[in-house]
Chains A and B, each alone.
Chain A
């Protein structure tokens, strides 16, 4: 029983990390959005599995919310933005693709190293996957820092959120539903604000290249 759960959790987490890595080597916006959608579905799957094996009925609700919000609502909003700004591709990131992938690998390794004491002492069947969640968080941060287009950064932020949610689910079998709801609301609002900013940046600079923002400095 625990072995199955452990493997399922590992599978879901690995999928999520791979979806996260897609941001590093694809250049086209629709690919990013698809990756995010896939990642959210995988997150919902992990939440559902944890609910089933950990007998936490609240997690089913969480899984449903994830599917609805991150699998449907946000991707559709993202697609709308993608139709508008999709022509702007991530052509010259600060770090090129090969180096990015190498660094992402190092970050995942770092995640493993950081989570080591927890993995050793924990008795949870999900313990092995937690390092992957940490890796996802670090990789998402890396995306936000090195990519120039606002849209890429928004997707990076959403993936960071997913990583944190994954870590919470794996590490504690889900935080209380009310807190989880608050986090969802937070993520949604954060996303909406960012969306507005992306539009405003485009309005002001005729591009969504965040690098242009440094021109605001006088």
Chain B
């Protein structure tokens, strides 16, 4: 059944891409969405089937070797297929309605075709079983994402963002090619099976790990390689942003696990330590920068950096515990990372779709111009609220379950009798705790400023609820957020199967009742999100009953108390900047904000003010510190290379001839 599912999925995406080129307008959008939806559902089914049966499938069509491609689905692939399928299904449904407002303004053909190509490459990516397949699909994924980011090409900053993305992602790609070449150790087939069995020296293994970390880190948006992410994700169409943030950056996690855990089979403890450290830094700095953002989608993009950090905390801890010979804790770490991967795909997808709905209805992403949308777009607001609660790790939603697992894993560091771990782990726990708290603050701001109070602009005041297809896309992910949150007793065993299928760590079968417990020696913790959910629901019902019995239920209409002021205008409301101000003061050394206040007085009297302009910007100073030397070195190198290109045809021909002569000399006299 599985090969048919794969064919079905490929056929769906291909049909969607072709339909985008062939049909216009409404029909085109519908066919694009149908193709992508069909493809992603087949992807989802394929992943679920593989994970449920536990089978490792090698796809062997007779023509497949001719292309140099090799496809194989093991349990880790299956898990990531599910991630891809879930987010892609919601995004394609949503995209049908969302792309309507692009009709006539931007190329729907390119958007639809590239969207399907992106989904196709993501699906094939996780099935890749040799270096060629992996690298080719990686590049197709990067390039299709690049074109998608460029969709709104005439908006300010889009081209710049896309170029940054292209530059950074290709730097990472170069590192990946190098990593696979070293890993292949001269085996030109580059098959993963050969890589698993090849015995490399520890030095070479470290080299492969570091190259892979750089390569996959750029895609995952790990600080300090994250610069492209907050630029590129906001400017893409929102359903594309959902796929980018929900799935594409997860390929970094997939690749890292595939290479370090599967192909290399784990390594020394410092590998895990580096991943763990990068994760902790990404988590904290990601959320700190998110707090300063007033662009709703940029805020979400920075949160992607944060959540990738949390995922890497889990994965890094897993790698570390594995090398210390603590398989149960290692399993817990990897499971926590994978769980958060799936969860983040759901709630970040949902949040980007919600932000897209806001943008669709109000034509702006600037939170300072929004407000009061909960009355005008109640369903979008409810969906966004669920996503915000999930990303803030509030029980019983899914973000809570996985973050709790990450915490549990990190606490397990107490079992390792090494000073650096004894010092490092509590710091990581503290950083994670701080970033979780700040995430709550950030989403109070995001939801409160965007949806509550009075609208701050006429566009926001005129907003209307979005079309049904967009709502359905969001509702799908809302359902997943709740379902994944209350059923860890189903999800975690499935994830441990995904991990066990790799055969690299002995996964102890964990008996699950209704809990999330881990009886690792010395570490105990139990939590049942389902019971919590039931409890919360009961509490809600109880409150309702009590209110109904005791409260005075007559409806009174009155003004909001306005501190004695007579008029209430939106200009008196709390702004996003104001909300984040205390934190900006606390972390002033990190943000190094520049403030610019100019007041225009009336010429007659200083007591009358005509206008006040206030601008404040946060300087990402360490990015500048890191990238300025790299960029200037690149420019210098490019200027030097340019001298070779004199523009003379004869010179180029001479280069060719000289190259041929040199090659002949080398071939003749090299032995």
**Which residues of A are in contact with B by a Cβ distance under 8 Å?**
94, 110, 113-114, 116-117, 138, 141-142, 144-146, 148, 210-211, 213-214, 216-217
Contact = CB atoms under 8 A, between A and B. Distances in A.
Given A114-B665, A144-B657, A216-B647, 9 more contacts: A110-B664, A114-B664, A117-B668, A145-B650, A145-B654, A211-B648, A211-B650, A214-B647, A214-B649
Contacts of A144: 653, 657
A94 B647 contact: no
A141 B647 contact: no
Given A142-B657, A144-B653, A116 B647 contact: no
Contacts of A214: 646-649
B626 interface: no
Which residue of B647, B665, B667 has the most chain A CB atoms within 10 A of its CB atom?
B647
A141 B652 CA distance: 12
7 contacts: A113-B668, A138-B661, A141-B653, A144-B657, A148-B650, A213-B647, A213-B649
A141 B650 contact: no
A145 B653 contact: yes
Contacts of B665: 114
| Residue of B648, B649, B660, B665 contacting most chain A CB atoms (<10 Å) | B649
Interface string B641-671: 0000011111001101100110011011000
Interface of chain B, main secondary structure: helix
B654 A217 contact: no
Contacts of B646: 214, 217
B649 A210 contact: yes
A138 B657 CA distance: 8
Interface in B171-193: none
A144 to B, nearest CB: 6
B163 to A, nearest CB: 21
A16 to B, nearest CB: 19
Contacts of B649: 210-211, 213-214
Size category, B interface = 10 to 19
Interface in B484-531: none
A110 B661 contact: yes
Contact of B657 (A145, A213, A216): A145
A120 B648 CA distance: 40
Contacts of B667: 114
Contacts of A213: 647-649
Contacts of B653: 141, 144-145
The 7 closest A-B CB pairs, nearest first, are A217-B647, A214-B647, A145-B653, A141-B657, A214-B648, A145-B654, A114-B664
Contacts of A110: 661, 664
B668 A210 contact: no
A217 B651 CA distance: 14
Nearest to B665: A114
B654 to A, nearest CB: 5
Contacts of B654: 145
A114 B660 CA distance: 12
B661 A94 contact: no
Contact of A116 (B648, B657, B668): B668
A113 B668 CA distance: 8
Contacts of A142: 657
A141 B660 contact: yes
B657 A210 contact: no
Most buried by B among A110, A116, A145, A214: A145
Contacts of A94: 650
A145 B656 CA distance: 9
A211 B647 CA distance: 10
Contacts of A146: 650
Contacts of B648: 211, 213-214
Contacts of A216: 647
Contacts of A113: 668
B271 to A, nearest CB: 47
Given A141-B660, A145-B653, A145-B654, A114 B647 contact: no
Nearest to B668: A114
A105 to B, nearest CB: 15
Nearest to B654: A145
Interface in B603-662: 646-650, 653-654, 656-657, 660-661
A164 to B, nearest CB: 12
Contacts of B668: 113-114, 116-117
Nearest to A148: B650
A121 to B, nearest CB: 13
A113 B661 CA distance: 12
A159 B667 CA distance: 24
Of listed B653, B660, B667, residue having the most chain A CB within 10 A:
B653
A117 B668 CA distance: 8
A117 B661 CA distance: 17
A140 B656 CA distance: 13
B647 to A, nearest CB: 3
B133 to A, nearest CB: 28
Nearest to B660: A141
A214 B647 CA distance: 5
A197 B33 CA distance: 45
Contacts of A211: 648-650
A214 B645 CA distance: 11
B647 A210 contact: no
